[in-house]
């Protein structure tokens, strides 16, 4: 475990990458020739290249590739630990040969050599490794060997060879082997040769290397690793005239002759901002869905009432708030009804809880705040008794808000608000009061005080069940805790015909506001000039660049390609391409 490197700290990336589309016309033919050579030297590569095509056929016939890879004799062989032999190392690594089950190769090695900048290390070798993506690739460049400060290069090299044997068939990749061989010390070279010779002769481990020198300029040790008479050296030729023509053809004949982007189309897109389509009409809920939704919402509101009732009882039992537990006696204070228009007390709050009048904690706090606000409004700060009531009113305010803040889950309050919005959208048949108990009310007394009559309407409104519009869930069911109770979130709906200001709509509106209508109309009134391109001249330029680049390496062709792209970009707004053609011609003539 101590030697494992976390993924975030791994600086070495895979060298495998496919040919980029721009360079593909130049090197695709050479890449196919290299892959053909690899398939001849390393038959496992052909098996890996065909695996994608054969996989679908194997799946269709019900026979997996593993079933085809092992014969009946191998299946009968069992290792001492109880596993079959093919679950261990491959037979070639074990020293066994089975010609019917495994392709055989003798020390497969391939050297890609050519002139400096021919693309053997920058394009072709990574493309070969990308084609062999089914096999594990181990890179033996200097960045890997000398990058780990905790281990010696010889130890890192030995570990790579051990892993290559364990995961065979695999690939050992050494870029710039000529420079690599001259740079590393004699100890690492000796270690490398010893480890390479320790690999079994028929082990499916491909050694792939590149160099920027001619084969006869390499050291004798490297030449002995890659034998030309065995076809293990692939010489990278410079691109042919046909490949160079394909490379520059699209750039000169197509990209250079393109018309500039139309300003009218951009202005029309900026002026015409289509409105956001309204949301679809909600689906009508079935009777079972409506009943299930009501039950879920009522379960949540029941927990809300239990919590609010507990808070109200704690306030009522506190001796400090005894003056706020019952309605004010109008016989003792006759002018109270004239000063206070909305009287409220804790017993009335409890009654409203029982009548299901509170759908959210915010509604509950509004009534509780009304108690202390009335006390402060009616009792002036003059005599000690009034001051005492004012102090207790302020204490009531702080106490109830502290309890709500400490014991109420914010997510639960959001769910209650969503339930309220959902029932409001679904109409009068989904009111909270219709779930209140029908036996709560009794016949009123003969004499009823005006204060009690104004406090609360004790008659619930019972409505028959009616059709319910469907709602769209806005939040998923989530666990919400209040005290020791765990609740389940219910559905929530978005209000119909309300258009939300999304980021895309906001950007569209801002874009429309930023458009100068006069300038836009002026652009629309302008006539688009005709495109003037001398295509015969472009064909002559293509012939000229193909002739000019005879014998050029890949890196020179890429440099010229980039210069021509820059010229085309500078003249991208020109309708008359005469100056562009002249500049392209000058770039080709000046390039060497």
Q: 408-448 pLDDT, tens per residue?
A: 888 898 999 898 888 887 764 555 656 666 555 555 555 44
Query: What integer best gives the mean pLDDT of the chain?
Result: 77
Task: List pLDDT tens digits, range 379-415.
Answer: 888 888 888 889 998 999 999 999 999 998 888 989 9
Cα separation, 261 vs 523, whole angstroms: 13
Contact 169, 203 (CB under 8 A): no
Q: Is 110 helix (H, G, I), strand (E, B) or coil?
A: strand
Task: List pLDDT tens digits, range 208-263.
Answer: 999 999 999 999 999 999 999 999 999 999 999 999 999 999 999 999 988 887 66
Q: pLDDT-based confidence at 17, cuts 50/70/90?
A: very high
Q: Which CATH superfamily is domain 287-441+448-488 in?
A: Bromodomain-like (1.20.920.10)
> With 70 as the cut, is the pLDDT of residue 494 above it?
no
Could you tell me which residue, 1 or 134, shows the higher pLDDT?
134
For the chain, give me the number of helices (H) and strands (E)? Answer: 25, 7
Query: Which residues contact residue 110 at a Cβ distance below 8 angstroms, ignoring those fewer than 6 apart?
Result: 34, 37, 38, 41, 42, 206, 207, 208, 209, 226, 232, 233, 234
Instruction: Provide the pLDDT for residue 65.
Output: 40
> With 90 as the cut, is the pLDDT of residue 56 above it?
no
Contact 113, 210 (CB under 8 A): yes
> With 50 as the cut, is the pLDDT of residue 183 above it?
yes
Q: What's the whole-number mean pLDDT along residues 305-322?
A: 92
End-to-end CA distance of the chain: 55
Could you tell me which residue, 467 or 457, shows the higher pLDDT?
457
**Range with the lowest mean pLDDT among 56-60, 115-119, 377-381, 390-394?**
56-60
Q: pLDDT-based confidence at 104, cuts 50/70/90?
A: confident
Q: What's the whole-number mean pLDDT along residues 496-521?
A: 54
Q: pLDDT-based confidence at 349, cuts 50/70/90?
A: very high
Instruction: Provide the pLDDT for residue 333.
Output: 85
Instruction: Provide the pLDDT for residue 520.
Output: 60
For residue 65, say if its preceding peptide bond is cis, omega within 30 degrees of 0: no
Instruction: Classify each residue of 439-456 as buried b or exposed e, where b means 16 or more C-beta atoms within 10 Å of its C-beta.
Output: eeeeeeeeeeeebeeebb
Could you tell me which residue, 3 or 462, shows the higher pLDDT?
3
Q: Count of CB atoms within 10 A of residue 497's CB?
A: 6
Contact 217, 178 (CB under 8 A): yes
The CATH topology of domain 13-237 is: Rossmann fold (3.40.50)
Every domain of the chain and the residues it spans: 13-237, 246-259+530-590, 287-441+448-488
> 212-219 long-range contacts, Cβ below 8 Å, gap at least 24?
212/113, 212/114, 212/115, 212/116, 212/117, 212/118, 212/120, 212/121, 212/176, 212/178, 212/179, 213/113, 213/178, 214/113, 215/111, 215/113, 217/178, 218/113, 218/177, 218/178, 218/181, 219/178, 219/181, 219/182
Structure tokens at 401: 């808000």
Instruction: Provide the pLDDT for residue 366.
Output: 92
Task: List pLDDT tens digits, range 134-173.
Answer: 899 999 988 888 887 778 989 999 999 999 999 989 999 9
Cα separation, 242 vs 285, whole angstroms: 69
Contact 108, 207 (CB under 8 A): yes
Instruction: Provide the pLDDT for residue 31.
Output: 94
Q: What's the whole-number mean pLDDT along residues 125-130?
A: 94
Q: pLDDT-based confidence at 562, cuts 50/70/90?
A: very high
> With 50 as the cut, is the pLDDT of residue 80 above it?
no
User: Crossing angle for the helix pair 346-354 and 287-317, nearest 10 degrees?
Assistant: 160
Q: Quote the pTM value.
A: 0.54
Instruction: Provide the pLDDT for residue 30.
Output: 95
Check if 13-237 and 287-441+448-488 are the same fold: no
Q: What's the whole-number mean pLDDT along residues 84-105?
A: 56
């Amino acid at each position: 475990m101590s030697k494992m490197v976390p993924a975030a700290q791994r600086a070495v990336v895979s060298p495998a990458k496919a040919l980029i589309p721009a360079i593909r016309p130049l090197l695709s033919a050479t890449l196919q020739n290299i892959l053909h050579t690899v398939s001849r030297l390393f038959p496992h590569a052909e098996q890996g290249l065909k695996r994608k095509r054969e996989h679908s056929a194997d799946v269709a016939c019900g026979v997996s590739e593993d079933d085809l890879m092992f014969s009946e004799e191998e299946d009968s062989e069992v290792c001492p630990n109880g596993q079959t032999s093919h679950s261990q190392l491959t037979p070639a690594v074990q020293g066994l040969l089975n010609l019917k089950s495994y392709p055989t190769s003798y020390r497969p090695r391939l050297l890609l050599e050519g002139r400096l900048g021919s693309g053997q290390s920058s394009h072709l070798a990574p493309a070969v490794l990308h084609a062999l993506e089914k096999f594990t690739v181990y890179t033996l460049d200097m960045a890997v060997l000398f990058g780990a400060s905790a281990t010696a290069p010889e130890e890192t090299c030995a570990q790579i060879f051990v892993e290559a044997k364990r995961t065979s068939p695999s690939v050992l990749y050494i870029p710039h082997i000529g420079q690599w061989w001259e740079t590393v010390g004699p100890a690492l070279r000796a270690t490398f040769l010893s480890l390479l010779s320790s690999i079994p002769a028929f082990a499916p481990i491909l050694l792939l290397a590149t160099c920027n020198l001619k084969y006869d300029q390499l050291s004798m040790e490297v030449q002995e690793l890659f034998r030309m008479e065995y076809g293990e050296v692939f010489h990278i030729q410079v691109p042919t005239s046909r490949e160079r023509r394909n490379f520059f053809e699209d750039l000169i004949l197509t990209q250079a002759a393109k018309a500039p982007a139309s300003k009218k189309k951009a202005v029309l897109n900026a002026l015409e901002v289509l409105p956001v389509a309204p949301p679809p009409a909600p689906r009508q809920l079935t009777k079972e869905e409506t009943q299930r939704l009501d039950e879920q919402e009522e379960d949540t509101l029941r927990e809300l009432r239990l919590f609010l009732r507990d808070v109200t009882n704690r306030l009522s039992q506190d001796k400090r708030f005894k003056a706020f537990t019952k309605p004010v006696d109008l016989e003792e204070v006759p002018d109270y009804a004239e000063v206070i228009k909305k009287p409220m007390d804790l017993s009335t709050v409890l009654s409203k809880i029982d009548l299901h009048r509170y759908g959210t904690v915010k509604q509950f706090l509004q009534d509780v705040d009304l108690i202390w606000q009335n006390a402060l409004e009616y009792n002036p700060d003059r005599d000690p008794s009034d001051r005492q009531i004012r102090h207790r009113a302020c204490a009531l305010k702080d106490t109830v808000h502290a309890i709500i803040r400490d014991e109420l889950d914010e997510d639960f309050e959001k769910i209650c608000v969503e339930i309220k919005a959902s029932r409001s959208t679904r109409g009068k048949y989904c009111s909270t009061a219709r779930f209140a108990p029908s036996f709560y009310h009794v016949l009123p007394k003969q004499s009823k005080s005006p204060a009690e009559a104004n406090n609360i309407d004790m008659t619930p409104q019972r409505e028959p069940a009616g059709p319910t519009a469907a709602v769209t869930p806005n939040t998923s069911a989530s666990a919400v805790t209040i005290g020791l109770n765990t609740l389940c979130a219910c559905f929530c709906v978005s209000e119909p015909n309300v258009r939300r200001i999304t980021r895309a709509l906001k950007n569209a509106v801002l874009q429309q506001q930023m458009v100068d209508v006069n300038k836009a109309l002026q652009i629309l009134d302008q006539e688009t000039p005709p495109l003037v391109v001398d295509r015969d001249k472009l064909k002559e330029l293509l012939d000229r660049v193909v002739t000019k680049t005879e014998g050029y390496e890949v890196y020179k062709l890429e440099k010229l390609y980039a210069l021509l792209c820059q010229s085309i970009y500078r003249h991208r707004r020109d309708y008359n391409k005469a100056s562009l053609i002249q500049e392209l011609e000058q770039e080709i003539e000046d390039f060497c």
